[in-house]
Amino acid sequence: MYKFNLTNPLAGSMMIGMACLSCAPKQQNKTPYNIVFIMTDDHTAQMMSCYDNRFIQTPNLDRIAADGVRFTNSFVANSLSGPSRACMITGKHSCGNLFYDNTTCVFDGSQQTFPKLLSKAGYQTALIGKWHLESLPTGFDYWQIVPGQGDYYNPDFITMQNDTIQKPGYLTNSPADDAIDWIDRRDEEKPSCILVRHKAIHRNWLADTTHLTMFEDMKIDLPETFYDDYKGRPAAAAQEMSIAKDMDLVYDLKVQTPGRESRLSERYYSYIDRMNPEERAAWDRFYNPIAEDFEKRNLSGKELAEWKYDRYMKDYMKVVYSLDQNVGRLLDYLEEEGLLKNTLVVYTSDQGFYMGEHGWFDKRFMYEESFHTPLIMRLPDGFERRGDIDQMVQNIDYAPTFLELAGVEVPGDIHGKSLVPLLKGENPEDWRTSLYYHFYEFPAEHMVKRHFGVRTDRYKLIHFYRDINQWEFYDLQNDPHELVNLYGNPEYQDQIDMAKKELLKLQEQYNDPIRFTVTE
């Protein structure tokens, strides 16, 4: 089975978790639970030390997992920002909430969402940060969002009055301040639910100027699959998200040599022109020598690809560092105010991300790195489960989880399953044994073809369609990096047939209008 973690810092606490597998909350809290739901963008488990110790230490995120649980098999339904956000807020697959992709869809804000249902049950609700669903938020008592993808520097925010305001400084610092401010002035008589949404760690990884020099001395190994040749996988070969080929020297890697032009250099300068003079001076002081050194070296081929990988990893880590610090600030505040005992704190991302695996950055594919998403929860008093939860969970499960936690009946049209039984340490016999996935954004940036598929604990079947008709089948136990497409291999015919049946069953269950027929 695929595992992200090389080491498991929670191994000790896992024993505690296993020892109380059947612990139900000792007593129902008299006051309803509060929910702090932190979500980041493109933050992948490889870059969180509670999942993977190879790269960056994230002590504050690790605090969440250490005082609660780490999901080791947490997945998305459609690996892209807007669609993931729609899945989370509705508890439905994309075919149920009708937000299929970032480029053509506008979220229908009149539909049922968990904040609206919580609100009806007496919760006060707030949303702060990146929303990315095109229409303005509905059903929150308070919101303040960044337009579209947002800007890292001196960012604009859209207010509830539909005004645009600009805030000085670095974006990642802002949602923690705003969340603390909102929690501070909440009505203490009512339970609350706040969605804190960071732009970090989204492309093009512009770090806080105070953290630029961090991680520079690190020696970073290439992932095993960096030079994948995509043999037997034409859809994987057709993508445009290769570090070597598609990563832009100026926009992504900050080679800001005067006169060097690139497809995206104009956008790069429009972003860094938002900095104030001090920030910009610090930026130039750091990146100019890197650009000069790069120009002198005249790299090509593998040397160039590896130089790009190294710069990508280092910039990404600097952005993670700010995020971790700001999560820590929010946790400290909740602790100091005595709120943690009655609050579920959830941390997740809109999807996983490639950190050079298969030679890539970005996400979209149903392959493990971008199908997975980190999910850790700090549990309130009454929930004694600790350590790892290994059942397969998906981002459509968060909405029913919050509803059950709040004592609200989960509507029958929600596709997800409440995670509360797992948080109580139960081991439900009827837990799902397969997951459904469907990605639609094609043709579009990065050119990942449309596909749907099914994953069990051991196998994965994917069908790429539209301008291609290609099946892939993987045995995750023997081939965790998904390099050998077994589709058509007679030794696996029974498993392939079973996976096809399961896929069709899920497409019917979720009423996805785009299906295959069993004769295919």
Interface residues with ligand SGN (CB under 6 A)? 41-42, 80-81, 102, 149, 202-204, 350, 362, 445-446
State the minimum distance, in angstroms, from the CB of residue 41 to Ca ion. Answer: 4
Q: What is the 3-state secondary structure (H, E, C) of 224-280?
A: CCCCCCCCCCHHHHCCCCEHHHHCCCCCCCCCCCCCCCCCCHHHHHHHHCCCCHHHH
Query: Judging by DSSP bridges, how do beta strands 164-166 and 156-158 pair with one another?
Result: antiparallel
State the minimum distance, in angstroms, from the CB of residue 353 to ligand SGN. Answer: 9
208 binds Ca ion (CB under 5 A): no
Taking the C-alpha atoms of residue 516 and residue 520, their distance in angstroms, rounded to an integer, is: 7
What x/- string results for residues 336 through 355 when contact with Ca ion is judged by CB under 5 A? Answer: --------------x-----
Taking the C-alpha atoms of residue 144 and residue 162, their distance in angstroms, rounded to an integer, is: 9
Which residue in this structure is represented by tokens 């990642």?
A: 172
User: In the complex with ligand SGN, which residue's Cβ is closer, 319 or 410?
Assistant: 319
Residue 386: Cβ-neighbour burial (10 angstroms; 0-12, 13-18, 19+):
buried
Taking the C-alpha atoms of residue 74 and residue 373, their distance in angstroms, rounded to an integer, is: 6
| C-alpha closest to that of 393 among 432, 365, 430 | 432
User: In the complex with ligand SGN, which residue's Cβ is closer, 260 or 267?
Assistant: 267
State the minimum distance, in angstroms, from the CB of residue 230 to Ca ion. Answer: 23
Which stretch in 77-85, 248-256, 297-305, 446-454 sits in contact with Ca ion by CB under 5 A?
Answer: 77-85
**317 binding partner (options Ca ion, ligand SGN, none; Cβ < 5 to 8 Å by kind):** none
State the minimum distance, in angstroms, from the CB of residue 469 to ligand SGN. Answer: 25
For Ca ion, which residue of 36, 42, 179, 275 counts as binding (CB under 5 A)? 42
**102 binding partner (options Ca ion, ligand SGN, none; Cβ < 5 to 8 Å by kind):** ligand SGN
User: In the complex with ligand SGN, which residue's Cβ is closer, 13 or 351?
Assistant: 351
Q: What are phi and psi of 277, to 5 degrees?
A: -60, -35
User: In the complex with Ca ion, which residue's Cβ is closer, 42 or 502?
Assistant: 42
Q: Name the residue with the smallest CB distance to ligand SGN.
A: 81
User: In the complex with Ca ion, which residue's Cβ is closer, 42 or 397?
Assistant: 42
Could you give the C-alpha distances from 27 to 31, 68, 69, 401, in angstroms and in order? Answer: 11, 18, 20, 18
Taking the C-alpha atoms of residue 92 and residue 98, their distance in angstroms, rounded to an integer, is: 9
For Ca ion, which residue of 46, 81, 242, 373 counts as binding (CB under 5 A)? 81
Taking the C-alpha atoms of residue 175 and residue 295, their distance in angstroms, rounded to an integer, is: 38
User: In the complex with ligand SGN, which residue's Cβ is closer, 204 or 507?
Assistant: 204
| C-alpha closest to that of 40 among 326, 394, 388 | 326
User: In the complex with Ca ion, which residue's Cβ is closer, 52 or 350?
Assistant: 350
State the minimum distance, in angstroms, from the CB of residue 362 to ligand SGN. Answer: 5
Which stretch in 74-82, 213-221, 488-496, 501-509 sits in contact with Ca ion by CB under 5 A?
Answer: 74-82
User: In the complex with Ca ion, which residue's Cβ is closer, 41 or 388?
Assistant: 41
Taking the C-alpha atoms of residue 231 and residue 507, their distance in angstroms, rounded to an integer, is: 29
Residue 121 structure tokens: 């049950």
388 binds Ca ion (CB under 5 A): no
β-partners of residue 386 are none
Residue 14 structure tokens: 């896992």
State the minimum distance, in angstroms, from the CB of residue 31 to Ca ion. Answer: 35
**479 binding partner (options Ca ion, ligand SGN, none; Cβ < 5 to 8 Å by kind):** none
The strand ranges marked E within 96-214 are 124-130, 142-146, 156-158, 164-166, 192-197
User: In the complex with ligand SGN, which residue's Cβ is closer, 267 or 458?
Assistant: 267
State the minimum distance, in angstroms, from the CB of residue 345 to ligand SGN. Answer: 23
State the minimum distance, in angstroms, from the CB of residue 101 to ligand SGN. Answer: 9
β-partners of residue 71 are 389
State the minimum distance, in angstroms, from the CB of residue 250 to ligand SGN. Answer: 12
Segment 155 to 174, residues that bind Ca ion, using CB under 5 A: none
User: In the complex with ligand SGN, which residue's Cβ is closer, 80 or 503?
Assistant: 80
> DSSP code of 403?
H
Which residue in this structure is represented by tokens 């990988």?
A: 309
**362 binding partner (options Ca ion, ligand SGN, none; Cβ < 5 to 8 Å by kind):** ligand SGN
395 binds Ca ion (CB under 5 A): no
41 binds Ca ion (CB under 5 A): yes
> DSSP code of 396?
G
Residue 241 structure tokens: 């998200």
Query: Judging by DSSP bridges, how do beta strands 470-475 and 459-464 pair with one another?
Result: antiparallel
Q: List residues binding Ca ion (CB under 5 A).
A: 41-42, 81, 350
